Structure 1
Amino acid sequence: MRLFSSIPVLSLASVLLASGAHAAAPAPDTAPASSPAAHPPAGAPDSFADLAARLLPAVVNVSTSETVKPGSDDDDDDDDGQTPQVPNFPPGSPFEKFFHDFMNRQNAPDAPPRKMQALGSGFIIDPSGVIVTNNHVIHNADQITVTLQDNTVLKARLIGHDDRTDLAVLKVDAPHPLPMVGFGDSDHARVGDWVLAIGNPFGLAGTVTAGIVSSRGRNIDAGPYDDFIQTDAPINKGNSGGPLFNMRGEVIGINTAIYSPSGGSIGIGFSIPSNEAQGIIAQLRASGHVTHGWIGVHIQDVTQDIADGLNLKPARGALVAEAEPKGPAAAAGIKTGDVIQTLNDKDIEGRSLPRLVAQLPIGKDATFGVWRHGQVLSVKVRIGQLPDDKPDDKAAAPAKKKDGNGAVAMRDLGLSVATLDDVARQKFNLPSDQRGVLVTDVTDGGPAAERGLKAGDVVTEVSQSPVATPADLSRRIDEARKAHRHSVLFLVQNGDGLRWVPFPLDDTH
C-alpha cells in the first residue's frame, strides 16, 4: 500500500456502548406506542452481508518473496520508504555497540542475501485463474503465492505489469474454475455512492469495509496518469491490489494508496478507476506489456495567473511548455505556448491530457483544439507510442572563457539576470546552443524564490516572445503592464526541462 506517512501503526480500539433503562409511566387505556423503525438513508442496504458473502470468494491474498542483496536498490526498503533505525541507547552502552555491529554486518558487501516478504491483495477476473493486483505488490518478486478464501495456496506467475499505472496481472493454475468478479463502469460512480472494499490489511484475510465515494479525479502525484477515486472505506497496508465494489458487486476501483500520518487508515484512500484499468489489463493479458499513446509535449495546468498572463478567458486547458522537436505534436504544428483545450471535441483539464492521450490508439489521428494568441485552431495529430527510454540529456560542449556581462537586478521580481555567455554556460553546465537570459541570483523570500527559480535557470521567453538580453526581458514586462495584464509569463529552462512561471504584476512596479 502506497503511503504518505511515517512508520505504520496497527492500533486496536474498542467502544463500549451502554444503554440505560428508563421506567415508563403506565398508560391506563392504551398500549405503549411503538417507535417508528429507523431506516438507513435511501440507497443504503440494511446489511452488506449478502453482498460480501457473494464477493469474498473472488478476492485473494497475494504473498511475495524477494531476495535482496546488500547494497542493492531494494535493500532495507519497505513499502513506505522507511529504513530500519538503530534505537537510541546511551552513548557507550553495550546495546548501542551490539545494534551498530548488527546493522553493519547486514549492510556489509560480503553479507549473505536476505529474503524479504510482502503481502497484498488481488481479485480474480476469469475462472481460469487470471488475477489483478498492483504492480508495487509484486515488484521484483522472486516468488508469488496466492491464497484463496478457502485457504488453498497456489503458485502464481506474472503475465505482465505496467509501472506507470501500477497494475499487474497474475495467473494461477487451479484444478477447477474459480469464482470471479466483473468490472463496472467507474464513470457512473458518483460522490456519495456506497462502496465496499475487500482485501487483506496487515495480512488479515477477507477483511470487508464499507464507505462512500468521497471524491473523483484525484491527483496525488503518484504517476503521470493520476485520476483516482477517493473513498473513506477503511483501507490499510495489505489492501493494495484489492477491489473497490459498487452496490451491484461490480469492481469500480483497484485500491492502491492511502494518505496517513500514522500508517493506518484515517478515511482517505485512493483507487484506480476501473475504466482506466480495463484497457491496461486487456493489453497485459494479450501481450504481457502495455503501449501508451504519446504526442511529445510537456504541459502545465492553466492556472488563473497563467491565464491572466496569456489574456486567456476562461482559465482552462493544458499549456504547452515544450513540444519535443521530433514528437508527433511538433510535426503537426503544435508549439510552445499553445494551450490545448479540447481533445476530439471534448473539453479537457490540463492535468488529464497525458492520461487521455495514453489511452488513444497508436497510429490513429486525434483532433486537438488549440488556443494560440487569441485564436482557436483545430490540429490533427497522429498518436505515437510513448518511448520506453527517456532521451539522453544534451552534453554540455566545451566553451572558451571570456569576460561575462554584468548582472541586472530586478528587485520587484526578486532576481538578477544577465546575458547568457560562454562563461555562464560553462559555470552552470549549459549546452552551447542554450538561448535566453540567465538568472544569476535569487532573493530569499522574493517572488522568484517563491516560484522555485534558482541561479543557473534560463528565461527563454516572456509573454510567449523570445528574450536574449535583460533589456528584452524588461521590455516584455513593461509591455504587459501597459496592456494592464495582472501577470506576466516566463518560460524557464532548468535541469528538469521547461515550465511556465507566472509573475504577478499588480504588486510590482
Structure 2
Amino acid sequence: MRKFGLTLLTAFAGGALALGAYKFVENKYDQNMSIEDKQKVYFASNPEKSTMVSSAGLPDFTQAASEATPAVVYIRTTYASKSSDGGSGDPFEQMFGQMFGGGRMRPQGPQMASGSGVIISPDGYIVTNNHVVAKAEKIQIVTNDHRSFEAKVIGTDPNTDLALIKINATNMPIVKLGNSDAVKVGEWVLAVGNPFKLTSTVTAGIVSAKGRSIGIIGREDDEDSPYPVRQQETPTLKKGIESFIQTDAAINPGNSGGALVNTNGELIGINAAIASHTGSYEGYGFAIPINLAKKVLNDIKKYGSVKRGYVGIGFADLSDPDAAKQVNSDKTNGLYVNSLVAGGGAEQAGIKQGDIITKVEGNTVYESSDLQERVARLQPGDKINLTVLRNGAEKNFTVTLKADAPANKTAGVSKSAAELFNKLGASFQPLNAQQKAKFRVNSGVLVTQVRRGGMFDDTEIPVGSIITSINRQPINSIDDIDKAITNLKNDRLVISGYYPDGGSFNNMFQVQ
C-alpha cells in the first residue's frame, strides 16, 4: 500500500511538473504564435457547443448569431482637427461619403468616426478595415458586453483594406476562422456589425457571387493616396487586391470591419464596402475573404507589415471586352501577358509576352482576381503553378514569387500609451542577432511600416530604420515602447536610433 501511495505521489508530482513546464513554454512563446494557432488553443479549451448542419443547410441563424455577436466590437475613432474647409483628406470619405462606415466628420474640433471589428484571438487581437482606423489618433473599442478599451494599431495593409489592432485584455470571446474557399454561391450568411451606431446588429442573406473586383481599393491616382491605382501588376508599385465575397445581407455605414459568418458561426469574410447610390444599403455588400485576411494578419503580427510576392507581369484581363480588343484576342477569360519584369519570377520561369494565363494551381482564371487573390496569400520565395496558352497549346510553368522592391519614400491630448503609439504612425519588429551586429547595438526594433500623417512620417524616419531607445529607455519590443511612452516628462518624446544607411538620429517630439 505504501509503495502504491509513493507511486501515486510520484505521478502527481510528475504531472504537476509537466503542466508547469507547459505553461512556461506556452507563456514564453505565446507572442510568436500565429492567429490560427491561438484559435486552435482556444477552441481546444472551449469545445464547440453543438454540431450544426452544413453552412448550406437549414436557415436557422440563432446559434450562428449567438456564436459571432460577442466577438464583434464597436470601434470609435478620433482624428486631429482639420481646416475649416471641411475636407477630411481621406479619398474614401471624399468620394463616397458614409459608404465605408465612417460617419460624416465635423469640419472643426476633434473629428469622430465609427466602424466595426472582430476579435480573433483571446488576448485581444482585432481585425478591421484599414479605412476604419487609418490616421486615427485614438481608437476606442466597445465590446458586446459594454466594456471599453483603447486599442493600438499593430499594422495595416491598404492593398487589401485590412488592419490588425490590439487591446490589452485576456480571455476575450472570438469568432472561429472559417474557410472562404469552401463558400458556395447561394449559401446563407450573416453580417454582424454596428450600422448607424446600432450595436450588435445581425442581418441575413445569401452569397451572391465570389471573386468580385469592384475597383474600390486603388481607385485614387494620387501618388500620396494610401490607395494608389495600379491597373497592372508590377513589382514596384502597390496594387489594391480585390476578390470580394458579394452578399445581399444588409450592410450599412458602420458595418465596415464587421463579420460575415456562415450558419456554422464561422468567420468567412470581413465586411468592407457596399455598392450604393445613396450611401446606404441597396442590396449589394462586399466582404474580404478570410483566407486572404489570414495571411495578411499573420504577416502584420509577425513582421509588422505584409510580405508580398509578385509574379512579375503586366497583363490585360480578357474578361473585359475592351482590353481583349486592344490585344486582338477573341478569348473571354484569362490574362494576356503584355509585359514582363526583367529578372522577375515569370520571366525566369519561361513565360513570354503574348502568353495567356488560363489556370492558376489548376483552377480556371476567369478574371484578374482569380490570380491576384491566390498570389496575395503567398510569400516571396513561394512557388505557384501557372498554365498558359501559347500558340494554341497549353503549357505549365512553376513560378517562384519575387519580393516587392523596397519603397524609396517613407511612407491637449490624452497621454495613454495606446493613443501615443498610434500617433507614432509606425509598426515594428524586434531585431534579430544579425541586425544587432550590423548596427552594433544591444537593443532595438526595426521600423517595418510608416503610416501617413504620423510622427515618423512627419520627421522622415523611414522604413528600415532602427529604434534603440525612447526617452533613454532601451527598446526591444512593442511592450517596451508602451512602457517608455506611458510616462512623459514635459510632454516630450525623444526617439533615438539609426537610419537604414547607418546614420544616427535623436528626434524630439512635443506631444500636444
Q: 2:335 is aligned with what amino acid?
A: A
Change (3 A) 1:172 1:72: farther
Q: Judge conservation of contact 2:317–2:324 (CA < 8 Å) in 1.
A: no
Q: Judge conservation of contact 2:185–2:210 (CA < 8 Å) in 1.
A: yes
Q: 2:88 is aligned with what amino acid?
A: D
Instruction: Tell me which residue corresponds to 2:80.
Output: 67
Tell me whether 1:373 sits opposite 2:391 in the alignment.
Answer: yes
Kindly state the Cα deviation for residue 83 of structure 1 after the two structures are TM-superposed. 9.8
Change (3 A) 1:264 1:173: same
Separation in 2, partners of 1:79, 1:149? 28
Post-superposition, which runs of at least 4 consecutive aligned residues in structure 1 deviate over 6 A? 71-74, 304-313
Separation in 1, partners of 2:340, 2:351? 7
Alignment of 1:283-362 (within 5 A): 283-303=299-319, 315-351=332-368, 352-362=370-380
Separation in 2, partners of 1:369, 1:54? 41
Q: Which has the larger radius of gyration?
A: 1
Kindly state the Cα deviation for residue 62 of structure 1 after the two structures are TM-superposed. 0.9
Change (3 A) 1:49 1:362: same
Change (3 A) 1:73 1:182: farther
User: In the comparison of the two structures, how many residue pairs are matched?
Assistant: 321
Kindly state the Cα deviation for residue 371 of structure 1 after the two structures are TM-superposed. 2.3
Q: Judge conservation of contact 2:81–2:109 (CA < 8 Å) in 1.
A: yes
Separation in 2, partners of 1:76, 1:363? 37
Separation in 2, partners of 1:159, 1:133? 12
Separation in 1, partners of 2:152, 2:325? 54
Alignment of 1:98-497 (within 5 A): 114-174=109-169, 176-223=170-217, 224-303=240-319, 315-351=332-368, 352-389=370-407
% same residue: 40
Change (3 A) 1:370 1:281: same
Change (3 A) 1:73 1:275: farther
Once the two structures are superposed, what CA deviation does each residue of 1:286-337 show, in whole Å capped at 9, x if it has no partner? 2221111102211112247877898878643210121123433233333322
Kindly state the Cα deviation for residue 238 of structure 1 after the two structures are TM-superposed. 0.5
Once the two structures are superposed, what CA deviation does each residue of 1:47-103 show, in whole Å capped at 9, x if it has no partner? x3443233221110011111144399963658542599xxxxxxxxxxxxxxxxxxx
Separation in 1, partners of 2:186, 2:349? 43
Q: 1:280 is aligned with what amino acid?
A: V
Instruction: Tell me which residue corresponds to 1:44.
Output: 58
Normalised by the length of structure 2, the TM-score is 0.57
Normalised by the length of structure 1, the TM-score is 0.58
Q: 2:354 is aligned with what amino acid?
A: G
Separation in 2, partners of 1:349, 1:214? 17
Q: 1:261 is aligned with what amino acid?
A: H
Separation in 2, partners of 1:260, 1:69? 27
Please, what is the CA RMSD of the aligned residues? 2.9
SS at match of 1:283: helix
Q: Which runs of 5 or more structure 2 residues have no equivalent in the other structure? A: 1-55, 98-106, 218-239, 410-512
Separation in 2, partners of 1:261, 1:312? 34
Separation in 2, partners of 1:115, 1:170? 21
Change (3 A) 1:389 1:335: farther
Q: Which runs of 5 or more structure 1 residues have no equivalent in the other structure? A: 1-41, 85-105, 107-112, 392-509
Q: Judge conservation of contact 2:295–2:378 (CA < 8 Å) in 1.
A: no
Kindly state the Cα deviation for residue 372 of structure 1 after the two structures are TM-superposed. 2.6
Kindly state the Cα deviation for residue 124 of structure 1 after the two structures are TM-superposed. 0.8
Q: Judge conservation of contact 2:316–2:323 (CA < 8 Å) in 1.
A: no
Change (3 A) 1:309 1:162: closer
SS at match of 2:254: coil
Separation in 1, partners of 2:390, 2:283? 43
Once structures 1 and 2 are overlaid, which stretch shifts more, 305-314 or 141-150? 305-314
Separation in 1, partners of 2:82, 2:328? 56
